[in-house]
Amino acid sequence: MADPKTVYSTHVSGFLNTRHEWTGEEGRVGEMIISRNALGLVNEGEWRPAKGEVLRFQRDPGMLRAQFTLWSDGREWIGSSLRDNYFRRLVNIHTGGKPFQLVPASGFSKGWSLIAPKSGEVARMETGLFGRDSELKVYRRLDFPLLLFAYFLGFPIYAESVWPAAAGTH
C-alpha cells in the first residue's frame, strides 16, 4: 500500500462510556463520545470538532449490530450502516453515493479497513495489541464524516478483527 495521505491518532479514556481524543498532523481535531445503554450496547455517539459542525451517531431500531445512522447537527442525514448478519464481521456503509464496506484488516492484528467498491482500501484503523488507542491512515480522498462513521462503527467491535477477513471479502 502507498504511503497514507493523512494520519490521525486517537486516545481513548473511560470504560463503558468512552471519550476518544483525535489528533492530526496539525494538532487536536476534536473528540468523539461513545455512549452505551444499561445492557452495555453502544447506543449513540457524538463528534465534537475543534472547529466545525457537531455530528451525531444514533442506533436504528432493530436487533442487528452496527445498524446506525449519522446525522449533522441540523438533522441532515449523512449516512447509515447495516451489519446484515449477527455473525458476519462485514459492515455495509451507505452515504447516498457509492457504498463502502468495513472489514477486518488483513493479517493477524486488531483493526479495520474501509473498502470502496472499485478502488479498494480507502482507509485503515489500526489498534495496538493490548491498548485501545488507534491510528487511522487515509490512503485516498475521503469525506471526513465517513472516516468518523467508520471509526465509530469499528471501535466497539475492534476485538473481533484479530482474526483476518476471509479471502474475497475485500
163 in any annotated domain: no
Q: Are 146 and 154 in contact (CB under 8 A)?
A: no
pLDDT in tens, 140-170: 999 999 999 999 988 776 545 445 554 444 4
Domain hosting 32: range is 6-158
Long-range contacts: 8-14, Cβ < 8 Å, 24+? 8/135, 8/136, 8/138, 8/147, 9/133, 9/134, 9/135, 9/136, 10/133, 10/134, 10/135, 10/136, 10/151, 11/133, 12/132, 12/133, 12/134, 12/155
What pLDDT does 39 receive?
Answer: 82
**What count of Cα atoms within 13 Å lies in the side-chain half-sphere of residue 7?**
8
Q: How remote is the C-alpha of 122 from its chain's centroid?
A: 12
pTM of the model: 0.86
141 in any annotated domain: yes
Residue 103 burial (CB count, 10 A) = 22
CATH of the domain at 132: 2.40.160.200
Q: Which amino acid is at 78?
A: I
137 in any annotated domain: yes
pLDDT in tens, 79-124: 988 877 656 678 889 988 889 998 887 766 678 899 998 889 999 9
